[in-house]
Every structure is written in C-alpha cells, then in structure tokens.
Structure 1
Amino acid sequence: MENKELDQVCKGSQPYTGLATREIDKAYYHSKVKLQRLDRKKELVKKPLTSVPPRYVHPDQDPPIISLDSSSPQVPIIDMQRLLSEDFMDSELQKLDQACREWGFFQLINHEVSSSLVEKLKLETEKFFKLPMEEKSKYGQLEGDVVHVEGYGNVFVGSEDTKLHWRDSLYFTISPPHLRNLHLFPNLPPSFRETMEAYSADLKNIMVEILRQIRKKLRMDETEMTILLEGKQAMGFNYYPPCPQPEHAIGLPPHSDFGGITFLLDVNDVQGLQIKKDGLWIPVKSLPNAFIINVGDTLEILTNGTYRSIEHRATVNSLKERMSIATFCNPKMNGEIAPAPSLVTPRNSSNVQKNRSCRLYQRTI
C-alpha cells in the first residue's frame, strides 16, 4: 500500500474494504496517526450555531438516493426463535445465508435478550453522555495510545488538518477480561459497568449461535470458526449531537468493520445508519427490540468472499441527537486471518494472496 493511500485509511477518508489484499505497515501507520483525546462537540452545540465549523465540514458527500419511507428497500429480518426451531430452522437459515451474501446486514428479532437489560443499558448510556465534560474527561483516551484507543473522545486524527466527525464516543474492550484497560473500565460507575458486562455476555451467546449456523450452512469444519469464537469483544457508545447543517457534516464516514460481526442498538430511536448497496446509500430503519447486525471484514475473508462486508456510514440531523451502541465481535489477536480451507477449491480459489496477522490487519473505527 502506498503512503498516500495509507494516509487516507488512517484519516478515515478511505474505507479499508474488500478482502485482505492490502497490508498496513505498522510503523508507518503509528507515525501518521494521532489521537484526539477529547472532542467538545456536545459543549459546542450548546452555543447557538447556524453553520458547521470549518473543521467539521465534509464536502462532496454522496446523498442517500433512496428516502426513508415505507417503500424503501430494507435489510432482511431474521427471527432468532425460528432459527433455533426444528420446524423453521432450514428456511430461516436460508434467509440468513441470503442476507449475508446479498446485503451483509440483517435485523435480528426475537433474540431473547431481556428488554429490561436493554433498556437499562440505554439509560446508562444516556446518563453518561449527559455528564459534564469534566466528568466524562476522567475516562478520556490516553495520549499517544494508538493501539488500544479506549475511553472517551474521538478515535483517529491524522493531522491538524484532518476533518473531524460530528460524534463523541466511548470505547472499551469487554472480553476477555485480561485485555480490559485497567485505568478505565474498573473506574466506570458500577451500574454502567455491570449492565455492560451482562449485555455483552448475552450478545456473545447470540454471536456463537449465529456463527454456528453459518458454519453449518457453509459446511465449514468446526475449528474454522475458532478465530472468532475465541476472539475479542469490544463496545462502542456513540453520541451524535444535532447539527445545524447535516448535509455538510458526517457522524461516521463510509467504512467497513474489521471484525467478524457487529451488533448495533439504537438508543433513542433516531435513525442515522446508511448502508451502500448496488452503489446507492440506503437509510436503515431500525425495528423495535431488534439488533442490526453486519458482516465484518474478518468474516468476509473467512468465508472466502461468500459473505460481504459492505460500506456503511452514520449521518446526523438538525433536530435531534442520536445515540447508538455497537458491540464488536473481533478475532483473537494472536491468530491469522485467512479463508477457511474447506471453502477454497480449484473452482473457488482463495481471494486472499496470503494470510494476514490480526494485529497488523486490525483497524479500529
């Protein structure tokens, strides 16, 4: 990968999409990326703004071609109860397989994560982002830590001229516990921390079942999902303030996710996710009590391109704040990302030129 192209990836202006045919030089990556510890957009929007500050302006954005209405095409819906039912398993698994092949996204309903736990996590999230800046800053990202990028703030800023995103975030590694950031996670309010742990444990169980079903459908060997089943789990909490000129700003630019699968939960029923399908940006309307799940780069590679990790972005609006919670199911970091041998045949040769180290390949959003 050329240095100019690496700059674009580091700054977030170019998504790291497709199969792993690119390799990031770690030393170069770290030399170019700087951490922006704390972002004061929430404080900023308390002032009466009529325009977006220049550093937040993202010109030439592709508008959504399709509006968010009842006639818009929507991502497929997968029913977890039907997926586990002997009577409906085959048909629901066929829907899941088709969703991962054609969309790379689906909404999961009837997932059996208790509504009380979900609502409690939403409440804890809202409470955190309503804290004064001086309180949130106690959980700020460590200066110069470009490896873990945990805590409150904004993730990567390539230079002083890098355009900023209209977003604040809180990011933590959840499991395995020995990878948690000890100066941050244990210091969270106990109710927030305990709710987060219970929620992430339930989502890990769902992740295991979804990957088991995928392995069965694709006739993969049992050990070929180990890199994900024994992987790392992280959570990102996102806050998108109202924006005076949403057409000029972006909450999160087009990107694909690094890991296996990602769970997205809308906190306050304000829409903002858009996915790129067939060259068009399509708004996603989240269903009540549903998780929006997408295929990540690692699962695309593991399935030898059978399943798709597609671009998506987060938009902002002028009237309402938006909050969301993303749970990332990433591969174990001492492994290698490569197509499952059972899916590589002479007729379906590997699309990856060589195996990739997970540590080298990882790109945190």
Structure 2
Amino acid sequence: MLGEEMSRELGGSVLVANVQALLPATPVMCHSDMRKLLVDDDEMGKLHLACKEWGFFQLINHEVAEVIEKMKADVQEFFKLPQKKKNEYAKLPSGVDGYGQNFVVSEDQKLDWADMLFLQCLPASERNMRFWPDEPTSFRETLVKYSSELVKVSNCLLKLMAKNLEINPEQFTNMFEDGRQSVRMNYYPPCVHASKVIGFTPHSDPGGLTLLVQLNEVQGLQIKKNGKWIPISPVPGAFIVNIGDVIEIMSNGEYKSIEHRAVVDPEKERLSIAIFCSPGAGAIIGPLPELTKEKGAIYKSVSREEYIKFVLSRKPVRKSAINLMKLEN
C-alpha cells in the first residue's frame, strides 16, 4: 500500500503565545501562544513569519497538557521494558509498524543512533494492533486519546495558516480530512563517540505537519538555516511544530519546510514523540490556485499516490522529495 510505504519514510523519519524571533545567537525557536492566535493579529503575524522564514515554531497553551504527560509517562515506561519484552513488538523485515533500532550508516557515513517505535494511528482501520504495546497497560488507551487530541490541534493550525495565506481554510483542512496520522517514539541512547553518530539523518519531512514533544530537557534537535545548524532549546510542555514538504508545495513556496536533524548527547539519553499528519487518499498535492497568480506554480501537481512514489524514489535525506517536485525553470 502506498500510504504504508509513505509511513516507512517517516518511521525510518490551538493557539500560539509570544512568537520570538529566531536568532542564531539565541537558539530558541519562535513560540506561539495558541490562546492568543485566535484574537491577536500580532500573534498571527509572528506565526506567519515563523512559517515563512523558519518552517518551525513552538506551540504553547495548546490545552492538551494532560494527555501529553500521560503519553510521555507511557513512552518512558515502554523504553524501560526488558529487551525481550520490547522485541515482542519488533518490526517485520518488510514492515513499517513496530519497534526497532535505526543503527544504520547514513549518507555522510555517520551511524544513525536511535531506538524507536513507529505506529499508524489514522485511519483507525489501518492500525495494526499487533504492534501496539500492551505494557504499560494504559499505553493503547493513551495513544488513542493523544491521536484524537492532536487531530484537533493540527486542524486548528491548518486553519490559522490558511487565514495567514488569505485562502479559504477548508482548502487546507479538506486536504487532511480522513488523512493519515502516524507516530514515531524515539529513544536516543547516550554515546561516548557522539561525533561519529547521528540521531537522525538531516532531512525535511515529506508530509504536511509534524508535531513533536520532547520528554526530557536534553537538547538534540537542530535546524539548518543559512548553511548553519542551530540547536533548538525546547520550551517545557510545548509542541515543536514543523512545516512539511506538502505544505511548502501547497503554499507554492510561501511556507518552507526546513532541513533538520537529531544529534546524540555523549552522556545523557534523549526521548521524543513525533506525530506526522499527511493528506488523505484522493488528495491532489500541488500549489493552490490562489497562490500561483503572482509568480505562477513552482511545483508540480500530482495525485497523493504519485507524490508518494516521488518520495520513495529518493532517499529520505536533505530536501530530496521537494526538489523532485519542482517545475523546471
């Protein structure tokens, strides 16, 4: 199934308060207060700038803190399980869902150093419960709740982005209606040879939106801006939101997906949970007509199925998928 193959790339891969300028000297991403976004034009302007210039922002006051804490606790308990128990949920050789290690050599010859659990959340009919842990006992119920709450958060963000782009919000939300949502839970062990490994190879996300929450205070996420890698200091309790390639394409380049990576700490473990939101079956991936009037379309328009083939035709590194979608000058 094509959607399942798209998940392979990710598995291998609401309001906003004060949005601060992202400065290389101050490695803190702009952050938005969701409560203010609905009523504050200045906050909307800051969100717009973050999506245009950075492709990343931190979302606070999202009103789902309780389920985040439950999800954090269950994920931490899962990774503490004996190896034999975790292996009961191991990925099949040709599979996508399940538990496994990502200890593979990346393009720059560094070793990818990560332990992860990847699961399909939506559509619910595509959940493979064989790989959903039953320990801790609350895990499945918590993940279903977490998935449901993040649909609400992502839909709200899509509407706010559409408003900033001066288009009908339904043009964004309809694309993601009955869409695919998957989760990747990451455990990055400490490594004394941290300079020789990478937590996750540099890439941009091929989907629409990614919402990541960090489980501890260890820095590891970095974004590439003007040729330099900038470390991100996570705001406690915030979602780190990044624009995926699909939204860059739909916005005709107005919003940018950005290259990012995860690095490993030599002494401390790092854990995170990433939710990936992608368009549903039958969606057309291409620039929205209203956003092509001034400079014309700079990306192709293809079916979701064809787009997935584009993604799978290249290694999930750098911005390979988005570059393949660009029209010739």
TM-score class, shorter-chain normalisation, is 0.7 to 0.9
Whole-angstrom distance in 1 between the partners of 2:135 and 2:283 = 30
Q: 1:249 to 1:308 in 2, by over 3 A?
A: same
The equivalent of 1:96 in structure 2 is 47
**What is the TM-score when the length of structure 1 is the normalising length?**
0.74
CA contact (8 A) 1:334 1:359 kept: no
1:360 to 302, 309, 314: 309
Instruction: Give the 5 Å matches for 1:106-255.
Output: 106-114=57-65, 116-145=66-95, 149-154=96-101, 164-185=111-132, 189-225=136-172, 226-255=174-203
Whole-angstrom distance in 2 between the partners of 1:188 and 1:362 = 34
- Displacement, 1:314? 0.2
Between structure 1 and structure 2, the one with the greater Rg is 1
Whole-angstrom distance in 2 between the partners of 1:294 and 1:317 = 22
**What is the TM-score when the length of structure 2 is the normalising length?**
0.82
User: Deviations along 1:131-175, whole A, 9 cap, x unmatched?
Assistant: 111111111111223xxx11111469699xx86411011011111
Q: 1:218 to 1:70 in 2, by over 3 A?
A: closer
Corresponding position: 1:74 with 2:31 = no
- Displacement, 1:354? 4.1
Counterpart of 1:248, as a letter, is K
Whole-angstrom distance in 2 between the partners of 1:358 and 1:151 = 24
1:315 to 233, 255, 263: 263
Counterpart of 2:146, as a letter, is Y
CA contact (8 A) 1:331 1:358 kept: no
Q: 1:70 to 1:224 in 2, by over 3 A?
A: closer
User: Deviations along 1:98-120, whole A, 9 cap, x unmatched?
Assistant: 00000000001111113x32222
Aligned length: 294
Task: Give secondary structure in 2 for the equivalent of 1:174.
Answer: strand
- Displacement, 1:190? 4.0
Counterpart of 2:37, as a letter, is L
Corresponding position: 1:271 with 2:225 = no
- Displacement, 1:189? 4.7
Whole-angstrom distance in 1 between the partners of 2:97 and 2:247 = 24
Task: Give secondary structure in 2 for the equivalent of 1:134.
Answer: helix
User: Deviations along 1:226-249, whole A, 9 cap, x unmatched?
Assistant: 222431111100000010111111
Whole-angstrom distance in 2 between the partners of 1:70 and 1:156 = 30
- Displacement, 1:254? 0.4
User: Deviations along 1:296-336, whole A, 9 cap, x unmatched?
Assistant: 00110110110000100000011111100001111114323
Whole-angstrom distance in 2 between the partners of 1:70 and 1:310 = 15
Counterpart of 2:308, as a letter, is R
Whole-angstrom distance in 1 between the partners of 2:102 and 2:247 = 23
CA contact (8 A) 1:234 1:328 kept: yes
Q: 1:98 to 1:342 in 2, by over 3 A?
A: same
Highest RCO, 1 vs 2 (Cα 8 Å, sep ≥ 6): 1
- Displacement, 1:123? 1.2
The equivalent of 1:280 in structure 2 is 228
Counterpart of 1:99, as a letter, is A
Q: 1:302 to 1:186 in 2, by over 3 A?
A: same
Moved more, 186-195 or 96-105: 186-195
Whole-angstrom distance in 1 between the partners of 2:275 and 2:45 = 25
Whole-angstrom distance in 2 between the partners of 1:362 and 1:230 = 21
Q: 1:126 to 1:173 in 2, by over 3 A?
A: same
Q: 1:182 to 1:196 in 2, by over 3 A?
A: closer
Whole-angstrom distance in 2 between the partners of 1:80 and 1:240 = 30
Counterpart of 2:279, as a letter, is P
1:340 to 273, 288, 291: 288
